[in-house]
Amino acid sequence: MSVRARVALLAAWLALLAGLLAYVLAALKVSTDLRSFMPPPRTPEQRLLLDEIGEGPGSRLLLLALTGDEPDVLADISKDLVPRLRADRRFVRALNGEDEIGALADDLLPYRYLLSPTLDDAHLDADYLRSELQQRVQDLGSPAAAWLKPLLPADPTLETVKLAEAWAPPGEPARYADVWFTRDGKQALLLAETVAGGFDPAAQRDAQDALAAHFREAAGTGRARLVLSGPGAFTVRINETTSEEANFIGLFDTVGFVTLLLLAYRRVTTVFAGALPLLSGGLAGMAALALLFGGAHGITLAFGFTLIGVAQDYPIHLFSHLHREQPPAAVAHHLWPTLATGVASTCIAYLAFFASGVDGLEQLAVFTIVGLATAALTTRFGLVHLLGSKPYDAAQSSWLAALWRRLAALPRPRWLAPLLALGAIVAMSQAPGEFWQNNLAALTPAPADLVAEDARLRQELGAPDVRHLLVIEGDDADAVLAASEKLEPRLAQLQRDGAIAGYELPSRYLPSVATQRARQARLPEPAALQAALDEARRGLPFKPGSFDAFLRDVAAARDLPPLTAERFFASPLGLRLKAQLQPRDGHWTGLVGLVGVADASALVALAAQPDTPARLLDLKHASESLVAAYRTRVLYSLAVAAVLLVAVVGFALRRRSRVLRVLLPMAVTTLLILAALRLGGVSLSLFHLIALVLAAGLGLDYALFFEHVEDDELEQRRTLHAILVCSASTFLVFLLLALSSLPVLRAIGTTVTLGVAFNFVLALLLTRPRREIADAG
């Protein structure tokens, strides 16, 4: 091809990539909510987990501490911050302990006798009213008079105050200047509940950025700092450190990788042209996701890009085989059957994931298949035309020739494969620790200082437990509320026993219709109430007519229709009830927050009683069972993939001895990796499994090329060069990941690094045909 034609091709290719990129940016919605990557739930507990993960009252709660300045300054910032958060639609509620006496909106005020528990054990008779009025006289003589006085004419029994107290968080923190403070008085404390789920990093990030901006506005130029904790804060922090470290490692990887290729091929243009197939594959994969699914999960993309990293080997095979006697297109034509066998068998194997029934894995399959196929095809039919006619010929290198001779002389013992496989299996059975790692959090651990900070703030604030949650289900809102009332005395007992420090039931905001009606029935008739009040007032200094508003309100309350959840939702307090009571797929769910769980077994025992109208959700247990279920599906997919792979390789190579020589290194390597990891005390996670698939794909490529040996020694040297460059570059890239401080990156890095080393050595020792020894000798 002429230079002009090559430039035109490059321009067209880049334009196509730009077009794909524009499409992907416009059409691909990347979701970050962990739930969409999870498999469909099987057990009721898993279903609840997926419903509630990130939505339980505990997990959406952010714990805030203001620190670093004088307490008075911090208190002022706290008071300034709360109204800002309340006005922000990203937050359900914001609390700092400032009294919310006006919390009962005017339209709910008439309902106070139906909402407050007073009438459950008292009647509005002369005795009760007299004792209340006596206390009111004392109130008027006390400093509380200032704010109680306006309430008294309509509410002499102070139901509004009782409701406001009942709706305050259980176990209130210490205070300074009206607002919550730590007991040492150095940090102001606040609670903010986000609308976003706790485990949705993008939405949490958005909410927390908004929170930080509100804080900066409230704090001005002072010294005060904001400390954030809670599941949402952890999610964002972990996400950031992971991507920061991955990006940092990625930068080093890129530099190392480019340096290695420059050393191997001595042509800058070659090296950069070599990036085009992978780039095309990645963009095509994302475009396919946009087209088929309309979006992709962040985890799919992260895994997917790891998996299609194999595609970088395709141009390397081509480059290493280039020489001056044949044009690049002819070289590619010659390599194609071997390369295509590797790509096709890997792609077909990934079809197994497509049938897994898990959205995340289906997306992964589509992305990887489209990405790998595109990279291979563009290498074969695009890249070759971009290359010049005077390439670097690897076969001319004298050190390569020497290395080739040395390797060619290596023995190829038949007993090696069975011995290694047996040793690996024995090692695995003897290795210490659990085989599987079910705790996802162990792979993305929160920094210890954050965990300690969280425990401290959670205790100071009396914030709900993140792990345990009681879940009530019912046909309608009222059924859930009735069940919630039934739970009340049992939880109160647990609190007295010290098993829990507190609890938040949905019925503390809104009692069931039956309870409201029972209270309504106890409201006296107007004449009776008037008489009782007159008697109660005798001897007390209240002026006549002081409580006419009270008489009117009670009379009106007798005829009110019971307050419904829908009506309550519309009130200013509605969001709080909504956080604990929600319709879902035709039924209603109520969430009971538990504070300071000291004895989880008491909760288990409570939930186990047949007449307890709630289920205990142990988020840790449920997520572990879900991870195990997920892994089962991945393992099934892997088994099917292995069968497909063998079938495709068998179809391509026909002869049994050839198939065995190609597949053996890959199979033994997989066992060796598992054995090495297990001997190192590593419990295996999903990330290890995905990395094993990647390592197997690499091994297949190496073996195919080693197996497909030409009689020409120069061609054999070129193949060796190709596999050396492939394995060295992959080894380098994943070695850096293996050295990462983050377990999730380390899992992928270690597995693939081991895989490259084992695959390369075993392909050398097990794959090359025996006749080569005679030739080399």
Partner 1 sequence: MQLVEALKRPLPAATGYTEVRFVQMLDAPLVLRGDLTYTSADALGKSVVSPYEETTTIADGQVEIRRPGKPVKRFSLKRAPALAGFLESFSATLAGDAQRLARNYVLASDGSAAGAWQLRLVPRDAALARHVTRVTVSGMKTTPLCFEVEEAGGDSSILLVDALAGRPLPASPQRAELQQLCRHAP
CB of 558 to partner 1, least distance (A): 26
What minimum distance in Å lies between the beta carbon of 686 and partner 1? 51
User: In 595-655, which residue ranges form alpha helices assigned H by DSSP?
Assistant: 600-608, 619-653
User: Cα–Cα distance between 117 and 641 in angstroms, integer?
Assistant: 62
Is 492 an interacting residue with respect to partner 1 (CB under 8 A)? no
- The distance of closest approach from Cβ of residue 70 to partner 1 in the complex, given in angstroms and rounded to an integer, is 13
Cβ–Cβ < 8 Å for 50, 197? no
**Residues in contact with 520: Cβ distance below 8 Å, sequence separation at least 6, in sequence order:** 113, 114, 557, 558, 560, 562
Per-residue x/- track, 121-140, partner 1 (CB under 8 A): --------------x-xx-x
Q: How far apart are CA 57 and CA 194, in angstroms?
A: 10
Nearest-approach distance from CB 65 to partner 1, in angstroms: 18
Any contact of residue 542 with partner 1 (CB under 8 A)? yes
- Minimum separation from the CB atom of position 364 to partner 1 (A): 56
CA-based torsion, 527, 528, 532, 535: positive or negative: positive
User: Which member of 20, 48, 50, 152 binds partner 1 (CB under 8 A)?
Assistant: 152
Report if residue 462 touches partner 1, rule: CB under 8 A. no
Nearest CB to partner 1, comparing residues 96 and 623: 96
Q: Which window, 325-333, 399-407, 535-543, 626-634, contacts partner 1 (CB under 8 A)?
A: 535-543
Q: Which of 40, 70, 488, 35 is nearest to 298 (CA)?
A: 35
Residue 22 or 540: which CB sits closer to partner 1?
540
CA distance 34 to 627: 12
Q: Is 176 in the site for partner 1 (CB under 8 A)?
A: yes
Give CA–CA dist 630/37, Å, rounded.
10
Tell whether the torsion through CA atoms of 618, 620, 624 and 627 is positive or negative.
positive
Instruction: Candidates 5, 70, 83, 147: give the one binding partner 1 (CB under 8 A).
Output: 147
By the rule CB under 8 A, 534 interacts with partner 1: no
Q: Which of 178, 209, 217, 434 binds partner 1 (CB under 8 A)?
A: 178
Helices (H), 126-230: 126-141, 145-148, 159-166, 201-219
For CA atoms 320, 326, 327, 333, give the dihedral sign.
negative
Is residue 144 a contact residue for partner 1 (CB under 8 A)? Answer: yes
Residues 307/695, Cβ–Cβ less than 8 Å: no
Among residues 543, 654, 655, 656, the one that binds partner 1 under rule CB under 8 A: 543
Q: Which is nearer to partner 1, 135 or 564 (CB)?
A: 135
**82 binds partner 1, rule: CB under 8 A:** no
The three-class DSSP label of residue 618 is strand
For residues 532 and 524, is the Cβ–Cβ distance under 8 A? yes
User: In the complex with partner 1, which residue's Cβ is closer, 134 or 254?
Assistant: 134
Which residue blocks in 558-599 are alpha helix, DSSP H?
565-569, 574-580
Among 19, 29, 99, 604, binds partner 1 (CB under 8 A): 99
Cβ closest to partner 1, residue 34 vs residue 81: 81
When binding is defined by CB under 8 A, the residue of 241, 439, 530, 546 that contacts partner 1 is 546
Q: Toward partner 1, which CB reaches closer, 139 or 473? A: 139
Q: Cβ closer to partner 1: 23 or 542?
A: 542
In whole angstroms, how far apart are CA 711 and each of 321, 355, 393, 410? 14, 42, 18, 18
Among residues 2, 3, 4, 141, which is the contact residue for partner 1, using CB under 8 A? 141
How large is the greatest C-alpha to C-alpha distance in the chain, in angstroms? 122
Site size for partner 1 (CB under 8 A): 24
By CB under 8 A, name the one of 9, 177, 275, 555 that touches partner 1: 177
Cα three-residue angle 166-472-463, rounded to 5 degrees: 45
Least separation in angstroms between residue 149's CB and partner 1 is 7
Strand partners, 188: 66, 181
Do the beta carbons of residue 461 and residue 168 sit within 8 Å?
Answer: no
Q: Does 154 bind partner 1 (CB under 8 A)?
A: no
The binder of partner 1 chosen from 29, 42, 149, 584 (CB under 8 A): 149
Residues that bind partner 1 (CB under 8 A): 98-99, 135, 137-138, 140-147, 149, 152-153, 175-178, 541-543, 546
